[in-house]
Chains A and B, each alone.
Chain A
């Protein structure tokens, strides 16, 4: 178990949130406005040099507070620290550390950016109220919005450098030489005579020193790790079944629990009969929890069998009775009264559309489950005045606050051990499972309760991707796109998600138009309007959030206009593109795919799409072939501009995985509700993409920009529209609604 996690967590007041540092004249002043949370648990001979570097006589631990859900967050954080600390990755352990305000996410809070307001020239138009409310939530220790790399790129390197210089100072004092005469390598300080002093032996001396805070970060030409493909620290464990996830937690005396929740979303607990449940071997108790029942047994399967045996009568929930009603609510939202934002309004749209033929279309994107493969789980032990929690989460500080609220136990007396996560895609930004585990554990104090949702309960009680609808009107002239008016309606993801964390979010929600309003295309008359649909199903951030639907709407709308103009979809995008970095990724995929138009051969269709999301311009070309068995995805080419590719290996995995994630859901998936109940509850009806449908994918990272950006989300939005365009090229069928398998057959 995490040794760092046992360090008592200290409470801090979240006051004015000051910047954690700044670069001046090439020198980074490393400082944190918060107390180093690691200092409170140290023994003699141990040093916590910054909140990120813990050195003990028996080893070096790097604290990697952003959650790892498969995206390699631990690895990238460790690489950035190790780059300046001068340790090799086989010399260190990583630990997510305690939940602490010292680990707040500057990239999210400062810019609110990647998450709430996509950058790229329009950020200043974002309403301040949403940003500040968002910062209050997101500025806490959160993983999301592709921010781990941008948040950590300077901060973690500086932390590594500060720790290194402090260790050198300790060595200088010990050896009686000037620090300037010392060098560092592979976890040791090297004296002028060649003697090596391992960091682990210098920890005691370093702990007594004031940390060295004025450090120069090394130029890119001196990087040893950044930019090099780096084998993952967790790869051996994940290939041998020895990587423990939250679902694998085992504690002495632990009981196993599952839940049976009202299948009507948001519905209350009704009447129930447990007579048959208690006939099942090993079932110990059935307890009432929020929205349903917790079933406790001596084994997970017995708890799940116990849940199945309960005869319950559930009250209706608040959701509309049919999907038609959900869509109608969106359709009814395209009004002036429900206009949420108009962040783009170039030219004179009314005049442009009044002048001649108007091209119109409507697009739809369904609810989607996140459905990571590890079902949500949490292990909780509640004692009278202390609580211990083991769970994988992207919002550790909120978990503490919420459990404190449920139990009345002070946050100071709650210990959270953050676990490795078996996939998330945004799912672990929600913490309902911790609430349920806590509610069960409160009713059996002193006993650790491991709660595992069944797949069916997990998918039923998803907080899915938003449902969304768009309406496009446009005009073309002389072979060019002249006017492009896009209206997008959806409920607010941010309001729904933050509402569950007790925050109200006034003002426009820029995610309603993210991936559309800020796109770098200079159509002479160009307007993007967001419409706020009423709350429907509770929704949450799904990999790439608003852009996951809007990238499809924007690109498909643009494609319809380009087609009407008789132009080539690649050439017209390049002609309209007004941003050099965006142009770079379009040119890259054109070159990689040897683009020669949408129909390079008989029976072959190609589509191109581009979305800038989370600050990252990303272009994709998808190729399909018509076969007797249906449409076959053959190849995909992707280019993304991230400033600096920290780890090319992980970059390729994130990008290819993002493309597959985008494709699979666009092709095969929707989450629908009937009588307020989810109709897809397992992978038989929510398939995602399977291996046989995955195309070969070629990935290129571009490094022309100044900003270092993360790439977990940006490859998702262009995948669906590039595929739709390829299908149009191959078949002449214009797909305006996902999932595409409702309209065409895939091989």
Chain B
């Protein structure tokens, strides 16, 4: 199957049923995408397909319907996406394991809703579990990111 991931076309030969998560992690080495639960309960595996935030553990490789963006495609340490920069400035991460998913979810929220209310943020971000409890800074960082995107 042909998958476009982070702007690069890949010819991948795996079972159609293999979740995109494991194609990304074990076949392509995109380990910034995290496995946390496998049942769409934690959001650590969140990526974008066609700009929409999805749980990659629940999308079969054979069903991928558009170009995939992972945390690695969103930005990198040298060239950071506004949401990543906001996360760094707000010093969100503790263990950090959930943060790839949080950032991808926030980026999708802000592309749909550039000026989210507190309720919008609660609604959009509550599927992403953070066991360290970094929620106060996640809320703050979404707003910092929104401001950055508006300036850009």
Contact = CB atoms under 8 A, between A and B. Distances in A.
A455 B96 contact: no
Main secondary structure of the interface of A (DSSP, over half): loop
B10 to A, nearest CB: 16
Given A375-B36, A423-B131, A242 B22 contact: no
Contacts of B35: 247, 300, 375, 452
Contacts of B96: 70, 234, 237-239, 243, 422
Interface residues of B, number: 61
Interface stretch (A142-150, A175-183, A597-605, A684-692): A684-692
A240 interface: yes
Contacts of A299: 18, 22, 26-27
Given A452-B35, A653-B94, A691-B139, A239 B122 contact: no
Contacts of A304: 38
A691 B26 contact: no
Nearest to A696: B136
Nearest to A657: B133
A673 interface: no
Contacts of B22: 299-301
A373 B84 contact: no
A703 interface: no
B134 A657 contact: yes
A728 interface: no
Contacts of B132: 70, 423, 653, 657, 661
Given A70-B96, A237-B77, A682-B41, A371 B133 contact: no
B42 interface: yes
B36 A455 contact: yes
Interface string B49-86: 00000000000000000000011100111001000100
Contacts of A231: 88, 91
Interface in A650-704: 653-654, 656-661, 664, 682-684, 687-692, 694, 696-697
A240 B130 CA distance: 17
Contact of A656 (B19, B121, B127, B136): B136
Contacts of B30: 241
Given A237-B77, A241-B70, A423 B26 contact: no
B37 A235 contact: no
Nearest to A455: B37
B90 to A, nearest CB: 9
A266 interface: no
B26 A238 contact: no
Contact of A373 (B21, B34, B70, B76): B34
Contact of A374 (B97, B129, B134, B136): B97
Contacts of A422: 34, 95-97
Given A70-B132, A239-B87, A683 B42 contact: yes
A691 B84 contact: no
From A69, A236, A247, A375, name the one whose CB has the most chain B CB atoms within 10 angstroms. A236
Nearest to A69: B95
Interface in B17-50: 18-19, 21-22, 25-27, 29-39, 41-42, 44
Given A240-B84, A694-B135, A455 B126 contact: no
B99 A239 contact: yes
Contact of A692 (B21, B42, B93, B126): B126
Contacts of A240: 32, 71-72, 75-77, 80, 84
A419 to B, nearest CB: 12
B127 to A, nearest CB: 8
B95 A421 contact: yes
A242 B72 CA distance: 8
A535 to B, nearest CB: 27
A245 interface: yes
A543 to B, nearest CB: 10
Given A241-B71, A250-B29, A375-B36, A653 B131 contact: no
A425 interface: yes
B25 A300 contact: yes
Interface string A354-377: 000000000000000001111100
Interface in B108-140: 121-123, 125-139
B5 interface: no
Interface in A690-733: 690-692, 694, 696-697
B98 interface: yes
A454 interface: yes
Contacts of B15: 281
B66 to A, nearest CB: 20
A98 interface: no
A434 to B, nearest CB: 19
B146 interface: no
A69 B25 CA distance: 22
Contacts of B42: 373, 683
Nearest to A297: B26
Contacts of B19: 301
Given A682-B41, A683-B42, A242 B135 contact: no
Contact of B135 (A454, A455, A691): A691
A234 B26 contact: no
A690 B126 contact: yes
Contact of B131 (A234, A425, A694): A425
B36 A235 contact: no
Nearest to B84: A239
Which of A281, A299, A697 has the most B CB atoms < 10 Å from its CB?
A: A299
B133 A232 contact: no
Nearest to A300: B26
A287 interface: no
Contacts of B133: 656-661, 664, 689, 694
A232 B93 contact: yes
A276 interface: no
B36 to A, nearest CB: 5
A177 B45 CA distance: 59
B109 to A, nearest CB: 12
B36 A691 contact: no
A19 interface: no
Contacts of A242: 32, 72, 76-77
B129 A688 contact: yes
Contact of A239 (B72, B92, B128): B92
Nearest to A454: B38
Nearest to A370: B131
Given A239-B103, A301-B22, A694-B135, A245 B97 contact: yes
A470 to B, nearest CB: 26
Contacts of B97: 70, 245, 372-374, 422-423
A392 to B, nearest CB: 10
A241 B84 CA distance: 10
A238 B99 contact: yes
B36 A694 contact: no
Contacts of B100: 241
Nearest to A230: B91
Nearest to A240: B77
Given A71-B94, A301-B22, A682-B38, 8 more contacts: A232-B93, A238-B99, A300-B35, A656-B136, A682-B39, A682-B41, A691-B128, A691-B139
Those 6 A-B pairs whose CB atoms lie nearest each other, nearest first: A241-B32, A70-B95, A660-B133, A238-B96, A422-B97, A241-B71
12 contacts: A72-B94, A232-B93, A235-B92, A236-B80, A299-B18, A373-B44, A373-B130, A422-B34, A653-B94, A657-B134, A683-B41, A694-B135
Interface of A: 69-72, 231-232, 234-245, 247-248, 250, 256, 281, 299-302, 304, 371-375, 421-425, 452, 454-455, 649, 653-654, 656-661, 664, 682-684, 687-692, 694, 696-697
